[in-house]
Chain A
Amino acid sequence: MSTNEWPLWEVFIRSKQGLNHKHVGSLRAPDSAMALQNARDVYTRRSEGISIWVVQSALITASDPSDSEAYFEPADSKVYRHPTFYDLPDGIEHM
């Protein structure tokens, strides 16, 4: 890879007021200002967003897929964390 290649950016878009920014894809750009500009052109041509975040991909720390069992399985056995685990007497409809 040539050292002069533009860095990679991850693009997050808030589609409307009240919703989270959501990852929509990535692009290459020399700096944050152009990353934003390019993100607008590449990812919001049909009013998909009202706000954009761009983050350099190299700055993201991600969990390793090979660790996913150790990371996420412990939650699977804890069904008591969900309301449906509990018995309610007849007559109680909303709780």
Chain B
Amino acid sequence: METLTQEKLAEKFQAKIDADIKIEPNDWMPDTYRKTLIRQISQHAHSEIVGMLPEGNWITRAPSLRRKAVLLAKVQDEAGHGLYLYSATETLGISREETIDDLHSGKVKYSSIFNYPTLSWADMGAIGWLVDGAAIMNQVALCRTSYGPYARAMVKICKEESFHQRQGYEIMTTLMNGTEAQREMAQDALNRFWWPALMMFGPSDAESKHTEQSMRWRIKRFTNDELRQSFVDATVPQAELIGLKIPDPNLKWNEAKGHYDFGAIDWDEFWQVVNGNGPCNKERIEARVKAKEEGAWVREAAMAYAKKHKS
């Protein structure tokens, strides 16, 4: 059999991607494709896991049994989504432990939105509606990503997440139909989460260093700005319908473009939070490290038990 040169392999690889043929774990892939995917998928997995913390904060204080059951189910889903994605990361040849240690050391990031605190019950509404809404925007596009295990995980996640956004919007709707204080609480949550939610899509296309290559590899199917615009267009009418006001004086419908124009994002804040200086960065990582360290004896005991009982 003729041995293929790296160049030939790379050519065949790109041809497969161009023909929308999925790449599977044992297929040849360029090193940079593998590395980029490890970064992207593990970052996504970490976001699911860290994302459990701000919502977990309200489980014991949910206002009714119905809301508590829903919130528990949602947080449990996030754990499941983290696990699907850690498995997908592992198919690229990095161990789960290394992946998790990279989160704890700060080498790999997670979505910066989870570095904001959840101060009131309305934040559960804002997070479900806006944060899961923004995540779904991104994830629906990723169902068609070129790497098979990632695409399959995304399909499952999207199916499960559709309730997450609805339950959040339902919380906001209920509050907006409530007392003056409840309406204020909902508006305050929107005021705090609107801009961070827009930042979830990442830097603007002009600043995004990975976009071009990632689009060519089809591990990204739309640019950050395209997804952000879709999110604004979809969300503004939802806010208006229930009487919430988007905290952006420059927001207005642009008839010619068929899109909303919106104000400038404070990218300094974005980079501050990404680089570790958000309100809760330290707390979030500490919680994860503590979970790993304090759970170590349980994992070791389970392994020792399994070894002992192996025939």
Residues on A lying within 8 angstroms of B by beta carbon are: 1-2, 4-6, 8, 25-28, 30-31, 34, 41-42, 45-46, 62, 64-66
User: Nearest chain B CB to A78's CB is how many angstroms away?
Assistant: 23
CB A5 to nearest CB in B, in angstroms, measures: 6
Q: How far is the CA of A27 from the CA of B87 in the complex (A)?
A: 7
Is there an interface contact between A26 and B87, defined as CB atoms closer than 8 Å?
Answer: yes
Given contact pairs A45-B77, A45-B80, A28 touches B96 in the complex (Cβ within 8 A): yes
The closest CB in chain B to the CB of A4 belongs to B303
Bound state CA distance, A2 and B309, in angstroms? 21
Whether B120 is near chain A, meaning CB under 8 Å from some CB there, is no
Q: Which of A5, A27, A30, A66 contacts B95, CB < 8 Å?
A: A5
Q: Is the CB of A25 within 8 A of B309?
A: no
Give the shortest distance, in Å, between B230 (CB) and chain A (any CB).
27
Contacts known (A42-B80, A45-B80, A46-B160); A1 close to B302, Cβ less than 8 A: no
Verify B26–A30 contact, CB threshold 8 A.
Answer: no
Q: Is the CB of A8 within 8 A of B90?
A: yes
| Complex Cα gap A14–B300 (Å) | 32
Contact call B303/A42, Cβ cutoff below 8 A:
no
Report how far A42 CA is from B153 CA in the complex, Å: 12
Asked if B97 CB lies within 8 Å of chain A CBs, one says: yes
Contact A30 B306 (CB under 8 A): yes
Question: Size class of B's contact patch?
Answer: 20 to 34
In the complex with contacts A8-B90, A46-B160, A65-B24, A27-B299 CB distance below 8 A: no
Contact A1 B95 (CB under 8 A): yes
Q: Is B59 an interface residue (CB 8 A)?
A: no
Asked if A25 and B84 sit within 8 Å, CB to CB, the answer is yes
Residues of A within 8 A of B153 (CB): 25
Complexed CA–CA distance, A26 and B97 (Å): 16
A31, B87: Cβ atoms closer than 8 Å? no
Q: Is B303 a contact of A25 with CB atoms below 8 Å?
A: no
Q: Which residue in A2, A27, A31, A65 is a CB contact (below 8 Å) of B27? A: A65
Q: Cβ of A31 and Cβ of B306 under 8 Å apart? A: yes
Tell me how far the C-beta of A65 lies from the nearest C-beta in chain B, rounded to whole angstroms: 5
Which residues of B have CB within 8 Å of A4?
A: 299-300, 303
Min CB–CB distance A25 → chain B (angstroms): 6
Given A1-B95, A5-B97, A42-B80, also A30-B87 (CB < 8 A):
no
A68, chain B: closest CB distance, angstroms: 9
Query: 14 new A-B pairs (CB below 8 Å) besides A28-B96, A31-B306?
Result: A4-B300, A5-B96, A5-B97, A25-B87, A25-B152, A26-B87, A30-B303, A31-B302, A31-B310, A34-B302, A34-B306, A42-B83, A65-B26, A65-B28
